[in-house]
Structures are given as C-alpha cells and as structure tokens.
Amino acid sequence: MKLGDLSVGYLYSLQAALRSLGHDPEPLLQRYRIGPAQLAQAGVRISIPRFMRLGHAAIALSGRADFGLLMGLHSQPSHLGLPGVTAQCAPTLGQAFDILVRFERLVSQNYRGHSSFQPPATRFYSISPYNAFNLFVVDSALASRLQLARQLTAGAARLREVHIEFPAPDYAERYEALFGCPVLFEQHHNQLLWEPASLELQPVQHAATTHEQLLTLCDQQLRELTRHRRLRERVEEIVSPQLHSRLPTLDEVAGLLGLPGWTLRRRLRIEDNTRFQDIIDDIRRDLALSYIRDTETALGEVSFLLGFSSPAAFQRAFKRWTGVAPGQYRRQSRDVVIRQSN
C-alpha cells in the first residue's frame, strides 16, 4: 500500500511548462531518475510522493509559485493516455469528463480518493493537509481540466465558479485571470462549476465510430487491470480513503463488493490468510511509513489522516512497527536520500 502512483504522461506538461520559462527540464528529471526511456514507455508510473517532490523542485527552479497553474495550461488530452484521447472524440463535453473519471484508474491511482463528475461540477479529490509540496497538484489538476475543455470546444466552454479547499496563496490573483470567473478559497471541495450549457457542447474532434472503438479499448484495459487485482486490494481501495473518518465495517465493505459479510471473511482467509482488521492495520503502517519517509506532512496530521485517536497513540504504534519514533525515522530516511544523491 502506497500513497499512489500516476502515469509519466503527467510529466509531459511539467516539461512543457519549464521549457516555456526557458529552463531545460532534463537535468531536473534525471535528478529524480526519470529519463527518456521511462518517458517513452507505455505503462510506466511514478509514485505520487516523487511527483510532489519533482513539482516542488520545478517551482524552486522556475521561481514560479503558480507553476501548477502553468502546468495545467500546457496539458494536452493525449497526456492523459487512452482516456484523454477517448474524451476528445466524445459526443459532448459532459461525456468527455465522465470518460476521464470512469477510466481514471488507467492513468492514476491515489489512496486518498478519485476524481468525480457530478454535473455541473468536475471535482478533484481532497489531498489535505496542504503544504508547499502539494498545492501545485490541485492547481495543475484544475487548470488541466479547464485547458481540456477549452481545447475540446475551441474555447466555447464557460465556467460559472471555481472552488478550492486551501486558503488563498500569495499568487491568488492568478486564478481569476486564468479561469475567467469567481474563484472561492477555503471551500469544501476542489471543483470547477460549469455553465450547464457548456457541458452539452460537442467537442470539435467528435467522431462517433472512433469514439466507440476507443471506448471498447478503455473497457478492455480496465477489465484487465481489475482482473489481476486481488480481493485484498479491492478492500484496501474502499477502506483507505476513509481512515480519517468513520471506517466502514466488514459487512459494509462486503456489501460494496457485492458479497455477504461471511463470504468476504472466508475469502480473505483462504486467498490471503488474513483478516479484515489485519488489512486496516497494514494500511495504516504502510501509509505511515510513506507519509513520514516521502512527504513533509506534520506528525500530528499523519496521526489524523490515519485515524488514530491521538498523536501519542500514533507514536506508540509507529515505534511498535519500526522500533524507532517517527521523527527519528524521517531523519534517517533523509540521510539515506542525501547519501544516494552524492
């Protein structure tokens, strides 16, 4: 269990944004062990923590705190792989957004949640707590959806409002200039609210037969991806986004999987020699290690995200898992990274 990963196609807009500012992206990518071979190979993914560190480094290199917004403006439908190309051919803009959500797993996976399309809103899931390493993720996601709509409709699509979860950053004025509508911060969701008529617009590259062919390919790839997922992975996908709130019971998870509770319990024992509670404990441990090692998230925030009753309870659990306190584990992990980069 990791925080998640995404296709290297998401790095194409990062490259283009850096080049537009006069910077060569190759040395930066090489520093994070991403070379031309990885960028050209289908199916290659990078971890979300590495993507966040890379984005933070791009901000430092460019001196642009709003680099995520610039990334979004340099995104192309093809950067989103087969779902992006399929969306280009959709009958309406609304159906294009639906395709991107339905087949999102083909290009990205995040334990925190998934994008959604609830007309008139295209919504990007929460990745709070927000810090210098992840603001650009939300910026790039929302700006890329705007850019997609503009490209598909030759600029005809119109936004009514934009909602963003985090407080207004220093570059807040850039948002309304980019989105062309009111932008509200400290909201409940990260979302673009479209004028309803815009969602009925037909993309300029709509092609019914090509769209059907590409939809078939998306369905095939998603079935293949799902077929290889073990039952345990499907349970993890349901439980993980809810760690910080009320955890679903075994019977509730079983219902979402279309199984009776006793069947889920038995199959977990037979297929993985595990119990439902063991899965929850393992998720917390693996995510704790990833948060402490790969992000700058404060220890108290990690405790909350993983559903512990208090920071002290989290500290005790972490020491039981690793033999050291989380702060010490983070320092040791940084020392290893520094030695590897020298």
* Pairing, β 45-47 against β 4-7: antiparallel
Q: Where in the chain is the domain with CATH 1.10.10.60?
A: 231-341
Distance CA 290, CA 1 (A): 9
Distance CA 218, CA 90 (A): 13
Q: For position 341, what pLDDT does the model report?
A: 46
Segment 263-296, tens digit of pLDDT = 999 999 998 889 999 999 988 898 888 888 877 7
Distance CA 4, CA 206 (A): 32
Contact by Cβ (8 Å): 271, 278: no
Contact by Cβ (8 Å): 271, 232: yes
pLDDT along the chain (342 residues), means of 10: 82 97 95 90 88 92 96 95 96 98 92 88 87 88 96 97 96 95 96 98 96 96 81 85 83 92 92 89 88 83 88 92 91 66 46
Contact by Cβ (8 Å): 194, 120: yes
Q: For position 2, what pLDDT does the model report?
A: 62
Contact by Cβ (8 Å): 291, 318: no
Q: For position 228, what pLDDT does the model report?
A: 64
Give the CATH number of domain 231-341.
1.10.10.60
Q: For position 342, what pLDDT does the model report?
A: 45
CB-based burial, 106-125: b 16+ in 10 Å, e otherwise = bbbbbbbeebbbeebbbbbb
The secondary structure of residue 263, as a DSSP letter, is H
The HSE-up count of residue 124 (CA atoms within 13 Å, CB side) is 23
Measured in degrees and rounded to the nearest 5, phi and psi for residue 207 equal -145, 110
Which position has the token pair 């199916």?
43
Contact by Cβ (8 Å): 281, 273: no
Structure tokens belonging to residue 193: 């609210």
Q: For position 4, what pLDDT does the model report?
A: 83
User: Would the pTM of this model clear 0.75, i.e. be above it?
Assistant: yes
Contact by Cβ (8 Å): 99, 89: no
Q: For position 240, what pLDDT does the model report?
A: 84
Distances (CA, A) of 188 to 72, 109, 110: 22, 22, 19
